[in-house]
Amino acid sequence: MNAQHIFQGCKASIACIAAAATLMAGGVLNTPAASALEIDGQYYSSKQPYVAPDAETTANYSKAPEGYETVYTESMARHGSRGLSSYKYDALLMKMAEAADKDNGFKSDAIKNEFVKNLTAITAANVQNGYGMLTGQGANQHQGIGTRAYERNKALFDKAAQDGGKIAYQSSGEARATESGENFARGFNTASNNELANSTVNPADPAGTGEAAVFDKTPNTLYFHKAENPDGTEKTGDAKKIADDYQNFVENDQTIAGAEETISENADVMTASHDLLSQIFTDDFLAKLADGTYKWYNTADGTKNGDVNCAPGADPSKDADACGEAKKKIASEYDAAMDLYNLYIIAADMQNENTGSHTFDFNQYFQGQQASDARLFAWALDAEDFYEKGPSYTGQDETYKIAQPLLDDFFNTIDQRVNGGSTVATFRFAHAETIMPFAALLGLPGSTQQAPASTTDVYTYDNNEWRGESVTPMAANVQWDVAVKPGNDPKTGRAYTPLVRMLYNEKEIPFRSECTPIADGSTWYKLTELKSCLEAGHQTTGDNAKLQDGSNPLVGLVSEFGTYWQAPQFNDDGTLKSAGKVLNKQVLAENDEKVVAINNKAAEGATDATPSEQQQRALSDRDADKDVATAFKDGFGPVIGEYFAQGYNDGSLDKVAAVMNNNGWSGNPAKNVNQSPRPYVSDRSTWAPIKDDATGLNQNTGSNDLAGLPTSLDIIKVNTDADGKALGSDGKLHSPDYPKNSYEGSFPSGHTNKAYSRGVVLAVMVPQLAPEILARTSEAGNNRIVLGVHYPLDVMAGRIGGQSSVAAYMNANADEVAAASEQLTTYLASRCKADGLGDTLEQCIDNTGAAADKGYANAFTDEVSSKPVTDRASAIAAYQARMTYGFTQVTAGGKAFTAPEGASALLRYAYPSLTDEQRNAVLAKTAIDSGYPLDASSQGWQRIDLATALSAKVTLNKAGEVIAVAAADKPSVIVSNETVTPGDTDQNTKPSTQDKDKGSKMPNTGVAVTGVAAAMVLLALAGISLSLWKVRR
């Protein structure tokens, strides 16, 4: 008896129909493969089948510039088309169908029969194929991508076959990812006549046997979103923390939860859900679902605590995904409609498997009016991915910064290849959960726009271009090609920088707009530029900021360094024209003495296995970018600091985070100009800013004139493990970057620059704690000296850059900063009030002692900051000590202070009632003396003492002139009843101890606006107009 006969003799029962449909679906894998359904615009969301590029696209990829040849290629691809990931949507709809059958809930027997046969057929096809496994379309997709990968870089691979080059294959460890890679390799090897089939990198953790044996399981970079790896093992260390932090954020973030709830309850979606189901079920039956009479869990009997539910005919011992998750349920029309929509979209990926006597057809439910309703369901499905795995909402980066390890791996493998490694290609295979955050991190097309941080003003198809079908279709892929050119670049005197271009779903596209290509219209970028503009955590030289026209302000502000050290110069042909030369031995000798003293003192107590306490703190600060809240919370004191950290991390302070992270100038252009050796390099006399590809260190080909200064310094390095990392105070491993930094210039400190661009923001917004916040910021800068990777002058320059960039940003983005300031103070005050610590932030600061002896504390001391930080006075003293690091003045002291243009913005929230002129007077009265290193070119920024200026008592005379500024526990302004006029002296002085203790009037300085001649000349040459500074990191 055949299946057709069974149907003819069947009663109209679910069991009978299902049995017949199962027979009819048998042997679906034994029939010829059907052509893939590659239709765009059907609202398949992230289940959109991959659309291969046409021949014209692949024939017109741009060539590498003249003289360059491709030496490396790498990719990361999502698995190809698959079946259902587990027995859930089909299982739950079958439970619903069984209930409808008993309750006369179908609109007709014919509709019932068709619906049940469709469910049974798609279940049987998934049992045959394996739940979650690649379908025929998926195999074809990756075979095609593999074929085209070889064809695009045929010359690279043919040469590699002759030279012993190898290919690295990597997988998340999930079976469908590995299977995708296997099919990619089949296509690649067929196209290349197997010339590299046996030239693969031996995996550290093979993904399986047979073809899978060449795949290395790398879940830390390809399955970073979960602590549990696909093979059941648990992540450890940083990888586990990244996954746990991400999961905790997504599960507990109220903005995401609220936005998703708003979308699921959208009236149009609700109407579409009812209309979709009304094609199949009666209104009475659907009413019972809507009122809660019906609810089905994915268990054997449909109850919440029922036994596990497995697909009919499946062998759970071979296919664990054939048994569904019990927590999945249908409890509303929306749930049921989304389950049916999920079957509709996955069916598009199972055309090769849909070959039984009864072919499942879910398209029929999305015809007519329901065709447009599919757009609503696609939006609802996309919204979850958008909020939890994509750009999400403004002010947060948790949903995509988890892809940072993958981006780092892209750069690291390039470095390994250009440094002489034999691996010519790395092919990675993973998931949508990998592609989506990676796309957002890279800023790929469609992944650049975040939604408002709102639970009601949510992501929609009308206000945002993010679409699952274009961002992460099945087999979505990102590919980078790397080209190099032999010899030295005459423009830099260093080896030609490797170039990189990107393909997204095999279409050549530019990198995001912050990245500058080698020429207008080109899709090739310098590797150094990408490391800089993609902010990949690499301390490298970025080429995006122009150097020659002075468009990066920091170049001019710290140009006095050029009178201390002459950077190496190169001829047009790339050969060394002149080596580096010490021009001011006194300044640089002090620089040497101070870095050794601070570094050596900090190393006390270190062992071969464990860094000292201060070294551990410095290691954590090295990666402050990855945990901003932890790095900066200390300045608020332990109580308020914890409020800040929680608010920053959960998105409550999204506007604050945006200002902290969006302002700032790159320090790399100034590094390029001033190329000076790091303090720890083995021989400063032969140091040159050129990387040696063989060693990965600097090329010791220089002949620098050190004017008798030591060729090497007694720097104590942190002991690191085999991976070059050591344990920080945050319990995580960090790299001090000794080898990497050895061929990069030392001046100025980029980490210090970035620390101040964030810390100054917080100090400006909460001036009541400015001395403590800034003392903590100065500690972060000083920690670069602790590690021995920077000199004091580097750190001083970083402070100049950080604080000046904040002022520029505040002037250019006043409304944004104001909103952020209001958010921060309101949030902290509300947290304080909730815990009974005061009705205002000021009361909370008083009650917690944050501005006294229970605030920021630091026991570390050295010859510059010689006393521990225990209270307000010692915090200011530590900050002031690090302003000059005790250097001898190199130019005349006693010069009048001229406030830099725009600097008054830094006092805007401390003294809202003052004018800009009056705020400039406050800066003048609190400025340090002139003549210290870097003062001449800094336009006044070296002299600004923000720790004092932001928290002082300002006295005005009746004419509104600033007549006194005294240190205080919070900023305030008073008007004196005395008729006091400003003095006429131009000598700047600091508050005396008596002034601070008694609050008496400080000696005044006058506020005449005069320029420092040397600074003006330097800035004019650099073409800097501070009023026109445009801030963009």
Q: How confident is the model at residue 702 (pLDDT cuts 50, 70, 90)?
A: low
Alpha-carbon gap, residue 832 to 798, rounded angstroms: 34
Q: How confident is the model at residue 493 (pLDDT cuts 50, 70, 90)?
A: low
Q: What's the rounded mean pLDDT across residues 254-259?
A: 96
Alpha-carbon gap, residue 970 to 586, rounded angstroms: 40
pLDDT of residue 977: 75
**pLDDT, greater one: 360 or 8:** 360
**Token pair of 995, please?**
């002034």
pLDDT of residue 577: 74
Dihedral in degrees, nearest 10, Cα atoms 623, 625, 629, 632: 70
- Answer yes or no: is pLDDT of 135 > 70: yes
Instruction: Sort 854 into a burial class: Cβ within 10 Å, 0-12 / 13-18 / 19+.
Output: middle
Lowest mean pLDDT among 112-126, 326-340, 795-809, 1007-1021: 1007-1021
Q: How confident is the model at residue 1008 (pLDDT cuts 50, 70, 90)?
A: very low
Select from 999, 915, 1004, 1006 the least CA-distant residue to 953: 999
Per DSSP, the three-state class of 508 is strand
- Answer yes or no: is pLDDT of 1003 > 60: no
- Answer yes or no: is pLDDT of 1000 > 80: no
Q: How confident is the model at residue 543 (pLDDT cuts 50, 70, 90)?
A: very low
Q: What's the rounded mean pLDDT across residues 976-990?
A: 46
pLDDT of residue 491: 67
Instruction: Sort 312 into a burial class: Cβ within 10 Å, 0-12 / 13-18 / 19+.
Output: middle
pLDDT of residue 14: 55
pLDDT of residue 131: 96
Q: How confident is the model at residue 541 (pLDDT cuts 50, 70, 90)?
A: very low
pLDDT of residue 537: 36
Lowest mean pLDDT among 33-42, 55-64, 312-321, 495-504: 33-42
Q: Give the CA count within 13 Å in the CB-facing half-sphere of 584.
A: 17
pLDDT of residue 721: 86
**Token pair of 969, please?**
């526990």
pLDDT of residue 661: 84
**pLDDT, greater one: 653 or 2:** 653
Domain locations in the chain? 31-83+132-295+331-544, 566-1033
Q: What's the rounded mean pLDDT across residues 224-239?
A: 93
Helix (H) or strand (E) holding 581: strand 581-582
**Token pair of 504, please?**
């997204």
- Answer yes or no: is pLDDT of 745 > 80: yes
Alpha-carbon gap, residue 129 to 122, rounded angstroms: 10
Lowest mean pLDDT among 103-117, 490-504, 916-930: 490-504
Lowest mean pLDDT among 30-34, 49-53, 565-569: 30-34
pLDDT of residue 360: 97
Q: How confident is the model at residue 488 (pLDDT cuts 50, 70, 90)?
A: confident
Residue with token string 């690291």: 412
pLDDT of residue 1033: 22
Q: What's the rounded mean pLDDT across residues 489-508?
A: 86
Q: Is the distance from CB of 657 to CB of 395 less than 8 angstroms?
A: yes
31-83+132-295+331-544 classified as CATH 3.30.360.10: no
Q: What is the pLDDT of residues 336-374, one digit of tens each?
A: 999 999 999 999 999 999 998 899 999 999 988 778 889
Sign of CA dihedral 59, 65, 66, 70: negative
Instruction: Sort 267 into a burial class: Cβ within 10 Å, 0-12 / 13-18 / 19+.
Output: exposed
Q: Is the distance from CB of 347 to CB of 363 less than 8 angstroms?
A: yes
Q: How confident is the model at residue 549 (pLDDT cuts 50, 70, 90)?
A: very low
Question: Which amino acid appears at position 588 of this protein?
Answer: L
Alpha-carbon gap, residue 540 to 747, rounded angstroms: 13
Q: Is the distance from CB of 562 to CB of 1014 less than 8 angstroms?
A: no
Averaged pLDDT score across all residues of the chain:
87
Express as a percent the part of the chain with pLDDT over 70: 86
Rg (the chain; Cα; Å): 33
Alpha-carbon gap, residue 408 to 398, rounded angstroms: 17
Q: Is the distance from CB of 779 to CB of 965 less than 8 angstroms?
A: no
- Answer yes or no: is pLDDT of 696 > 60: no
Instruction: Sort 589 into a burial class: Cβ within 10 Å, 0-12 / 13-18 / 19+.
Output: middle
Antiparallel, parallel or unpaired: β 499-504 and 477-484: antiparallel
Lowest mean pLDDT among 339-343, 569-573, 727-731: 569-573
pLDDT of residue 742: 58
Q: How confident is the model at residue 741 (pLDDT cuts 50, 70, 90)?
A: low
pLDDT of residue 547: 24
pLDDT of residue 573: 55
pLDDT of residue 697: 54
Q: How confident is the model at residue 535 (pLDDT cuts 50, 70, 90)?
A: low
For 891-940, give the secondary structure using H, E and C.
Answer: CCCCCCCCCCCCHHHHHCCCCCCCCHHHHHHHHHHHCCCCCCCCCCCCCC
Lowest mean pLDDT among 77-81, 137-141, 610-614, 734-738: 734-738
Q: How confident is the model at residue 492 (pLDDT cuts 50, 70, 90)?
A: low
pLDDT of residue 534: 86
Question: Which amino acid appears at position 150 of this protein?
Answer: Y
- Answer yes or no: is pLDDT of 843 > 50: yes
Residue with token string 């080909």: 701
CA-to-CA dists, residue 905 to 450, 552, 915, 1012, angstroms: 29, 20, 10, 21
Express as a percent the part of the chain with pLDDT over 90: 75
